[in-house]
């Protein structure tokens, strides 16, 4: 008979307190061999693990023999009645903030081909938001000297007027982003050189870490593609995603429209990039910056 409630807790404590302490101290997946390196005790540990599976404390991992993980059953209750639904005030390039509302805890993806302007967008986002947000910029490409050169191209702001935190970082961004409301994290960019399906998992890890902060993540993409490397899976946890080519940007995913009757998904904007930092939108269709792409 499967115990529940207080009986489950009592069963676990009575069954093997030291084993439970070991499981609780080692988050993530583990094997029977981790708990009992010597072969003669592995059968006994396997029996105990299987009993903990039976009572719902552990679960088996995948199809590998002898691998387990602790079930995470804690829940964070959402107080939707008293929640603040007000969008955050944030500036985004191409006037995206006039089309899409951004809320606390949102993740935004800028996917672009090489030299399409991803870093320029990131630096403009920093410039326009650093007075109202605590900005944390993680670059996988630039050292301090190159970043200084890029910032020096902004002619109307002195170098010592830039007030943001800059870090050299190549991966494991979920470990270092700053969570909590008021924090704006920019990742320029998330590098994956093979097994691109991993990108979705990395974005999910970043999203789960935000706790009210905002993250804007740059991804590389192939020419002509509407998504970054990782495909449509890379857009699962995003609230806004854009695809950048040379002098052209497309909204590939948008939630929470500013105007409920104007769906910006699939809309296109043409732009020019001057001196590696100045972005100017072009009004190619009448007086509109964003327009619906013609279907062939």
> pLDDT digit string (tens) for 237-256?
999 999 999 999 999 999 99
Q: What backbone torsions phi and psi does residue 174 show, to the nearest 5 degrees?
A: -60, -25
Do residues 35 and 22 lie in contact, with contact meaning Cβ atoms separated by under 8 Å?
Answer: yes
283 is written with which tokens? 């009004």
pLDDT over threshold 50, residue 8 = no
User: Distance between CA 224 and CA 245 in Å, rounded?
Assistant: 8
Residues 6+ positions from 96 with CB-CB distance below 8 Å: 240, 242, 251
pLDDT exceeds 60 at position 210: yes
Q: In which region does residue 81 sit, left (phi positive, over 0), alpha (psi from -120 to 50) or beta (all else)?
A: alpha
Distance CA(214)–CA(270), nearest Å, equals 26
Give the E-state strand segments of 33-192 in sequence order.
58-60, 67-70, 107-112, 134-139, 165-168, 183-188
pLDDT in tens, 28-72: 899 999 988 888 889 989 999 998 999 888 999 988 889 999 988
Q: What is the mean pLDDT of residues 146-174?
A: 95
Token couple for 96: 């995206």
More confident residue, 41 or 266: 266
Q: What φ, ψ does residue 279 adopt, rounded to 5°?
A: -105, 125
Integer CA distances (angstroms), 126 to 70, 90, 137, 177, 277, in order: 40, 10, 8, 15, 12
Q: Which long-range contacts (CB under 8 A, 24 or more apart) does 163-166 make?
A: 163/130, 163/131, 163/135, 164/126, 164/130, 164/135, 164/136, 164/137, 165/134, 165/135, 165/136, 165/137, 166/137, 166/139
Backbone angles phi and psi of 245, in degrees to 5: -120, -175
In this prediction, residues 202-213 reach a mean pLDDT of 95
CA distance 132 to 178: 16
Is the pLDDT higher at 131 or at 10? 131
Neighbours of 51 (CB within 10 A): 15
What is the C-alpha to C-alpha distance for residues 80 and 83, in angstroms, rounded to an integer?
Answer: 5
Q: At what angle do helices 5-15 and 17-25 cross, to 10 degrees?
A: 100
């Amino acid at each position: 008979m499967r115990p529940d409630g207080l009986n489950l807790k009592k069963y676990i404590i009575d069954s093997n307190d030291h084993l439970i302490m070991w499981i609780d101290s080692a988050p993530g997946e583990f094997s029977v061999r981790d708990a009992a390196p010597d072969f003669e005790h592995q059968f006994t540990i396997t029996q105990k693990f299987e009993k903990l599976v039976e009572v719902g404390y552990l679960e088996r991992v995948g199809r590998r023999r002898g691998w387990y993980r602790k079930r995470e059953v804690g829940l964070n209750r959402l107080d939707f009645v008293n929640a603040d639904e007000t969008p955050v005030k944030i500036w985004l390039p191409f006037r995206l903030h006039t089309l899409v509302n951004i809320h606390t805890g949102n993740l935004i993806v800028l996917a672009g081909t090489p030299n399409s302007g991803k870093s320029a967008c990131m630096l403009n986002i920093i410039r326009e938001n650093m007075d109202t947000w605590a900005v944390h910029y993680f670059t996988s490409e630039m050292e301090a000297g190159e970043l200084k050169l890029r910032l020096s191209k902004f002619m109307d702001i002195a170098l010592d007027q830039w007030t943001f935190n800059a870090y050299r970082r190549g991966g494991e961004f979920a470990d270092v982003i700053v969570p909590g409301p008021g924090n704006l994290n920019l990742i320029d960019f998330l590098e994956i050189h093979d097994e691109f399906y991993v990108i979705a998992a990395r974005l999910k890890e970043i999203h789960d870490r935000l706790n009210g902060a905002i993250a804007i993540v740059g991804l590389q993409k192939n020419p002509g593609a509407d998504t970054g490397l990782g495909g449509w899976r890379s857009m699962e946890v995003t609230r806004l995603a854009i695809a950048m080519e040379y002098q052209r940007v497309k909204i590939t995913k948008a939630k929470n429209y500013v105007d409920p009757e104007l769906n910006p998904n699939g809309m296109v904007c043409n732009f020019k990039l001057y001196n590696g930092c100045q972005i100017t939108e072009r009004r190619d269709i009448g007086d509109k910056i964003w327009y619906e792409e013609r279907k062939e």
